[in-house]
Structure 1
Amino acid sequence: MGMKTNDIFNLLHNAVESKFLGKKISQREMADKLGVSMRTYQDWRLGNSQPQAASAIFKMLGVLDEGDAIRLIKRIVTELKDENE
């Protein structure tokens, strides 16, 4: 069976923790960063529910070549950083 949306959320959560040298990031902290309730974030990670937009985004990224996906993600990250400044 293929990778599920909750698998991707778990990989992303772990990747964010790795970025901070393995410092554990609570589900509450991550939910706050994403602007959702802790319960919602827990449900995403457990696979009890999945945000439809996230599922569509992951599928769209999966269609792109790796280089194109990386360039697009970098552009999105840059624009998000600019919004938060």
Structure 2
Amino acid sequence: MKTSDIFNLLHNAVESKHFGKKISQKKMAERLGVSMRTYQDWRLGNSDPQAAKAVFELLCELEDEDALHLIRRIRRGLKEKE
């Protein structure tokens, strides 16, 4: 699977979490701390963010339960920063 496919899946999943409310690419880019053009390039497959690709590959090495546990820990850590 291409990294662009993963970003598209994630974008759609976040929209679904918000009951199908569309989230602009600009808004998603802001959330990720990148320019809208960069985010568009990721989604279109014009560029391939190596760090994101590495993270996705590492997550895929984990069993589903372990990956979910890790994501929950990361979520808690991010919420503590806010």
Q: TM-score range by the shorter chain?
A: over 0.9
**Partner-residue secondary structure (3-state), 1:14:** helix
The counterpart of 1:69, out of the listed 67, 73, 77, is 67
Distance 1:48 1:74 in 2: 31
Residue in structure 1 matched with residue 33 of structure 2 by the alignment: 35
TM-fit CA distance, 1:48: 0.6
- Report the number of matched residues: 82
The runs of at least 4 consecutive aligned structure 1 residues that moved more than 2 Å come to none
Residue in structure 2 matched with residue 60 of structure 1 by the alignment: 58
TM-score by length of 1: 0.93
Residue in structure 1 matched with residue 80 of structure 2 by the alignment: 82
Distance 1:13 1:77 in 2: 17
Which residue identity lines up with residue 54 of structure 1 in the other structure? A
Overall identity of the aligned pairs, in %: 68
Cα deviation, 1:17-58, whole Å, max 9, x if unaligned, reads 011110000000000111100000000000111211100000
